[in-house]
A and B are shown apart, each in its own frame.
Chain A
């Protein structure tokens, strides 16, 4: 279990026996000048303020009643329901009406404070991820965000860093640097960090997002799948009192391992109405069918691992020694949403260089910016890394999944449109 979140002052007060003295700090979110007869406690000349801190609100009887929106430190007598005979010290007062329309308070507290609660849930997810990997003797690492090559994937565009003194981009994934750490001698590593992908903005995409990436030496795709299903089940249990069955878009989603394993060819037969080989005749046609027909059906009721990717889409995965036309790459889908992409890692430096050169040519042919090859990454491969499995998982999407949020905007501290 992840360590519990620290309790807020209001929670501490609620556990105190009545007639004890208590002190809280928070924001006045509602006031009543005392005309309300429901209180009926005979107190006169005072009123009620509803004071909010992160986990809830507490009723405070005081005189005078502080201005709506003020930040206050209150000291009073806990009567088991509220603070009475309270002295409120106002420490900050809003300049203008409260809450400010379109302001941060209004945004976080809209719809009953759902977004504020989601941020607490997000913190719990991060704690659960760290607990999972720490228990399995993985080392948490942090690699640089501004890197000499952001990755050469044909369909990923990077943000350039200006003024770095050398060509630098914000990484689209920490893959090169993490593999260098495998070569450096760390056999099990994980990282929770920011990745940047230009032009990606939608219900499940932000140009800046949080990625969990991990590598396990002496392992491959099979171990990656086991780590993934156990991790997600662990996170769900941590947030749902031990339950691994969570609400989905329609009905329920059972995250209990083992998850379904499906090849791309099987998925196309089942959902696309076209055979995979025919779909692959055109890359655009393939991705249209994948996004329109196949993906929405994957991982419903129970998550799905999609395997059997053609060698042409191997990315940084090694090819299956038994079937060289197939890459050892796996994507996890949960409730119609792609959650992770992992490989049995390609560790052959020559083959890796050939693929990066091909990626550069393809980018050039499409008129896209051609990023440099990261030579230190290739050096690490040629110096030798152990056979390894690795996976990259979208943390924002995992948070959306376990908190049942439909939009990525609702699970991040500040969405791009509010910057």
Chain B
């Protein structure tokens, strides 16, 4: 259990049976009055934002979250299958649960799977992964500044932008937190 004084950004709470992560909080107290903590939090499954005000000293349930290192295996229908390389346990996540992260699933990619009360609810890929450019306008040789970008499509279907000097079939490093180009890599 948490107390209101334990509330910090990124603390995970169980509210009405759902996992929430604290995105902001504020201590409020009239000089001569009762103290409260106003908490803004995000549902870790739906992404919905909730605001609640708790009386100081009120106890809040911790969300039982666990992260396990697993490997991505293959897509199956609408789902994506992952395996725990130690126990060989397999879990499935839907495309909806994966969101943008489905564009980073390379075969045998080591990922971290987030479990809530024992149920998988999301995946965190490595921060940087390398993907091939499958479609983009031809590059301009002279430009190496990287200040101007053009749209492109990557091997997994991810659409992003790259500097003008990047050509089709070349490989680039992508930041999976933002989906943005980091640098060109030689393969």
Contacts and interface: CB of A to CB of B under 8 A. Distances in A.
Given A199-B5, A202-B26, A203-B26, A338 B31 contact: yes
Interface in A291-325: 291-292, 295, 313, 315
Contacts of A200: 27, 29, 35
Interface stretch (A67-75, A106-114, A216-224, A280-288): A280-288
A205 interface: yes
A202 B34 contact: no
B47 interface: no
B36 interface: yes
Contact of A341 (B28, B31, B36, B53): B31
Contacts of A201: 27
A153 interface: yes
B57 to A, nearest CB: 9
Contacts of B33: 155, 287, 290-291
A328 interface: no
Leading 6 A-B pairs by shortest Cβ distance: A202-B27, A287-B34, A287-B33, A291-B28, A341-B31, A155-B34
Contacts of B17: none
A287 B36 contact: yes
B26 A287 contact: no
B35 A155 contact: yes
Given A199-B5, A199-B56, A292-B53, A155 B32 contact: yes
Contacts of B53: 288, 291-292
Interface residues of B, number: 16
A341 B55 contact: no
Interface string A213-247: 00000000000000000000000000000000000
Interface in B27-50: 27-36, 38
A291 to B, nearest CB: 5
A295 B30 contact: yes
A331 interface: yes
Interface residues of A, number: 24
Interface string A318-343: 00000000000001000000100100
B137 to A, nearest CB: 40
Given A155-B29, A203-B26, A338-B31, 17 more contacts: A199-B35, A200-B35, A201-B27, A205-B27, A284-B55, A287-B34, A287-B36, A288-B53, A290-B30, A290-B33, A291-B29, A291-B33, A292-B53, A295-B30, A313-B32, A331-B31, A341-B32
Contacts of B28: 202, 291
B175 to A, nearest CB: 23
A222 to B, nearest CB: 20
Contacts of B32: 153, 155-156, 313, 315, 341
12 contacts: A199-B35, A200-B27, A200-B35, A202-B28, A203-B27, A283-B34, A288-B53, A331-B30, A338-B30, A341-B31, A392-B31, A394-B31
Nearest to B28: A291
Contacts of A199: 5, 35, 56
Contacts of B36: 287-288, 291
A315 B56 CA distance: 21
Interface SS majority for chain A: mixed
B11 to A, nearest CB: 16
A284 B30 CA distance: 12
B30 to A, nearest CB: 6
B30 A287 contact: yes
A201 B26 CA distance: 9
Contacts of A313: 32
A1 B68 CA distance: 66
Interface in B55-101: 55-56
Contacts of A292: 38, 53
A392 B32 CA distance: 12
Nearest to A153: B32
A53 B160 CA distance: 47
Contacts of B26: 202-203
Interface in A252-303: 283-284, 287-288, 290-292, 295
Contacts of B31: 331, 338, 341, 392, 394
Interface string A155-187: 110000000000000000000000000000000
B56 to A, nearest CB: 7
Contacts of A203: 26-27
B129 to A, nearest CB: 30
Nearest to A156: B32
**Which of B30, B32, B55 gathers most chain A CB within 10 Å?**
B32
Contacts of A315: 32
A271 to B, nearest CB: 14
Interface in A186-203: 199-203
Contacts of A283: 34
A199 B56 CA distance: 9
A334 to B, nearest CB: 14
Nearest to A309: B32
**Which of B5, B28, B33 gathers most chain A CB within 10 Å?**
B33
A133 B27 CA distance: 32
A315 B33 CA distance: 11
A313 B34 CA distance: 12
A274 B34 CA distance: 19
A331 B30 CA distance: 10
Nearest to B56: A199
Contact of B30 (A202, A291, A392, A394): A291
A205 B29 contact: yes
Nearest to B25: A202
